[in-house]
A and B are shown apart, each in its own frame.
Chain A
Amino acid sequence: MKSKRSYLIILGLAITIIAILGYGCENKASTSKSGGALSSDVASQVYVPPGEYDEFYGFMSGGFSGQIGVYGIPSGRLLKVIPVFSVDPEKGYGFNEETKPLLNTSHGFVPWDDAHHPELSQTNGKTNGKWIFINGNNTPRIARIDLSTFETTEIIEIPNSGGNHSSPFTTENTEYVVAGTRFGVPYPQKDVAINSYAENFKGMLTFVSVKEEGDMDIAFQVLLPAFDYDLAHSGKGNSHGWTFFTTYNTEEKSTLLEVNASQNDKDFIAAVNWKKAEEYIKQGKFKEIPAEYAHNVYDEKSHVATSTLKKSVKVLTPEDCPGLVYFLPTPKSPHGVDVDPTGEYIIGNGKLSADLTVHSFSKMIKAIENQSFETTIEGIPVLKFEEVVAGVVKDAGLGPLHTEFDGKGNAYTSFFISSDVVKWKLGTWEVVDKAKTFYSVGHIMIPGGDSKEPQGKYLVALNKITKDRYLPTGPELCHSAQLYDISGDKMKLLLDFPTIGEPHYAQGISADRIVPNVKKFYPIEENTHQYRAMGEKDARVEREGNIVHVYMTTIRSHFAPDNIEGIKVGDKVYFHVTNLEQDWDVPHGFSVMGANNAELLIMGGQTETLIWEPKKEGVFPFYCTDFCSALHQEMQGYIRVSPRNSNIALSWRLGEDEEI
């Protein structure tokens, strides 16, 4: 009896142990959903010790945030958010008087845009760390960001365009950045019936020249059928001189595009010979067409942006310019078009096809020479598919979108629908590896991965959906980036981190190409701002009718002046604040009670202006918002507002009762 009981106890124990073990296994299985990212050496691969620098900069578009997120790679640490097309109260960008003109367009002040594709400037096809460009999709624009200051310094509007998606995608020496309209628009823009699309609408490609010092200008536009020009990449090496644009909606429909623009088995990659375009421009084969567009430039010496409305563009038409544009048939509504580091292969990522179509540049040139044309559309020869195709990567996944290169003969393609990154070999087209993404990858980025010299150590996948990857934050969840080690044969997931807005494309560059040129402050002696105060002796207040100019300075830790009287209700007060600091990382902030705009955040040597229109009598404090020193909290002042008809004289002071 006794032994029987002990058998039962042992049996009970055994069942319990098995159950616990089983539960343990299940638990382990559910935590390793990240696809083996828990292997032991992974943490050390992304660990950048406190105080150390990351090896790469990563620039990720903010998408609908209109910004660029600057990250350290491999750590995934967010270093800075650069406001580009969107106002940013944190930095006063678009709120201070100096930067407002940067956001001017032919539609007036447009304080937001959808920023998709950052693109680093290049020399001989290699990223040079000088600038990064990015497109504004909604109100077509291209911005240039200076990488010595990480500030937006120029924005040009693209006329005759709607949805600037296939942009900016630089040429090998940043001769041009390009723009292509994703939405056909009436040409010229006019009031017509939408269903007259095929007849009245056009698609325009734009080449924006970039001077040595960065000045952008619309060199010419190319008038094409009203297809949707989706993405682009410029040629390199042998194909330098050409830029390739993908198209969809070659059906030229204007409604229910998800069905109507998905009917043709093949759409096109448009190959534009821009060197030929330059010849035609020289020969005067263009039409000068009226067009209104803004060109906005920020001057680093005056710290002021100016906006100029331009009035016309040079337009080339393929019918008048033979050899300018060819169409390469490509299945099916291709999304990204990517050119390999040698410039020979042009990859059409057939979004609605399972396959990747790879065209050969040399075959394309031969087909052009042999006039192997299927047909001609509006003066544009359509090359025979089989005459240009080099190979097909078959059944690698579902929904191929974008391809990057590692410079070692491999290509990496993102597959949106199947949430994969697929590694395949250029030339043999065989799939050699696949890695899962979490979830729904859009663009991918390898530092220099779309240049002639990729730095193929890491790959970043930019995911549209995160679902359960992070602590939940209500209905709206972050998008994410995932970092893979691609130095070995197999891709290895290392890290997964949230991003700002929606990252579309991204760019990466080794830090040594940027760090030596980064500025620490603006030399005060170079400041040419009209309302600068070069020292406290220049600090003063001037009245012109109801406009008051306050010439104010900041230095640790006081404003000069910090007491102002004689302001009246209804005045327009301009605070022109010059930061006299000449040291790294000592910005001062300026905020005043009741301001209807934002704060100022002024870097050393810079002057920024906030407009303040007091509506009530009283004495209102202002203060420094950026913790600047041990005496930051004391960095404050008062401005006294008297009634409209008051006789209080304008006065100002700093310290004791002495006037300054």
Chain B
Amino acid sequence: MKHVPRILMAVGVAALLGLFIFPMWQITLIAPQYPDGVTMYVYINKLGGENPSVIQNINILNHYVGMKYIEPDAIPELKYFPFIILAMAALGLATILINKPYAFWIWAGLMVVLAIAGMYDFYLWEYDYGHNLSPKAPIKIPGASFQPPLIGTKEIINFTATSLPHLGGYLAGSSILLAITAGWIKRKF
């Protein structure tokens, strides 16, 4: 039992680094003429999709109602988030050395704060895309909102938009649970 907390924490750090491999979040748009849907992936450092043309195809859809083009280069978070995650991974390794319950819990607490901040930031971007429409939009629908849901499913004119965490997001979430468990075991035994 002696090494269990450190092993759990090491697994947690590895899971967190999964953010560099797997998408953190996904937004899927489904309409009758898009039976397979158009799925965009949000990575820690880039935007992508099931195929390389997803961003172009979403931008084509968005332009009818005057939404801004999604240009990954214009999203600064994609540049500095990776460093935050690397820093958290380094702190995670530090907690393994410290190997005290409070160290694991402080780390988990920091992660929760980061997650909340990240979700809030994501919400702001979604609000901006959904509300900041070009006055020259070809199609104007009074009262319609084009803001995708933060999490869950929402009807946006003819599309059903679903926003959910992807594997990277789940891995990051599990790293928090692993840290809390590590602290608890450390304290109990």
Tell me the A residues contacting B by CB distance below 8 Å.
523, 555-556, 580-583, 629-631, 634
Contact = CB atoms under 8 A, between A and B. Distances in A.
Given A523-B52, A631-B64, 4 more contacts: A556-B63, A581-B60, A582-B51, A583-B60
Interface string B48-76: 00011100110010011000000000000
A583 B138 contact: no
Most buried by B among A581, A582, A630: A582
Contact of B52 (A581, A582, A629): A582
B1 interface: no
Contacts of B64: 629-631
Nearest 10 pairs of A and B residues by beta carbon:
A582-B53, A556-B60, A583-B57, A631-B138, A582-B56, A630-B64, A583-B53, A630-B139, A631-B64, A555-B60
Nearest to B56: A582
Contacts of B56: 580, 582
Nearest to A523: B52
Contacts of A556: 60, 63
A583 B57 CA distance: 7
Interface in B8-29: none
Contacts of A580: 56
Contacts of A523: 52
Given A630-B64, A631-B64, A582 B139 contact: no
A583 B139 CA distance: 22
B4 to A, nearest CB: 47
Interface string B82-95: 00000000000000
12 contacts: A580-B56, A581-B60, A582-B51, A582-B52, A582-B53, A582-B56, A582-B57, A583-B53, A583-B60, A629-B60, A629-B64, A630-B138
Please classify the interface of chain B as helix (H, G, I), strand (E, B), loop, or mixed, using the class held by over half of its residues: loop
Contacts of A631: 64, 138
A634 B138 CA distance: 10
A631 B60 CA distance: 11
B150 to A, nearest CB: 27
B88 to A, nearest CB: 36
A207 B52 CA distance: 43
Nearest to A524: B53
Nearest to A585: B33
Contacts of B139: 630
A582 B57 CA distance: 7
A169 to B, nearest CB: 39
A654 to B, nearest CB: 14
A323 to B, nearest CB: 55
Nearest to B63: A556
A584 to B, nearest CB: 9
A581 B53 CA distance: 9
A52 to B, nearest CB: 13
Contacts of B52: 523, 582
A629 B158 CA distance: 14
Contacts of A581: 60
Nearest to B138: A631
Contacts of B53: 582-583
Interface in B132-151: 138-139
A583 B138 CA distance: 22
B66 to A, nearest CB: 12
A583 B38 CA distance: 10
A583 B60 CA distance: 11
A320 to B, nearest CB: 57
Contacts of A629: 60, 64
Nearest to B55: A582
Most buried by A among B53, B56, B57, B139: B53
A630 B64 CA distance: 8
Nearest to B53: A582
Contacts of B138: 630-631, 634
A50 B53 CA distance: 29
B75 to A, nearest CB: 21
Interface string B34-49: 0000000000000000
A555 B57 CA distance: 10
Nearest to B51: A582
B47 to A, nearest CB: 15
A555 B60 CA distance: 8
A556 B56 CA distance: 11
A646 to B, nearest CB: 34
A580 B57 CA distance: 11
A124 B64 CA distance: 52
A634 B53 CA distance: 24
A369 B148 CA distance: 80
Contacts of A634: 138
A581 B60 CA distance: 9
Contacts of B60: 555-556, 581, 583, 629
Nearest to A580: B56
A14 B43 CA distance: 86
Contacts of B51: 582
Most buried by A among B52, B60, B138: B60
A654 B52 CA distance: 26
Contacts of A555: 60
Nearest to A605: B53
B144 to A, nearest CB: 15
Nearest to A521: B53
B39 to A, nearest CB: 13
A629 B53 CA distance: 18
A53 to B, nearest CB: 13
A526 B99 CA distance: 53
A523 B56 CA distance: 13
Contacts of A582: 51-53, 56-57
A395 B52 CA distance: 64
A631 B63 CA distance: 11
A537 to B, nearest CB: 14
A631 B57 CA distance: 15
A634 B63 CA distance: 14
Nearest to A582: B53
Nearest to A631: B138
A634 B136 CA distance: 15
Contacts of B63: 556
A493 B15 CA distance: 62
A177 to B, nearest CB: 35
A631 B137 CA distance: 12
B67 to A, nearest CB: 14
A630 B157 CA distance: 14
Contacts of A630: 64, 138-139
A630 B60 CA distance: 11
A580 to B, nearest CB: 8
A473 B64 CA distance: 44
A581 B56 CA distance: 8
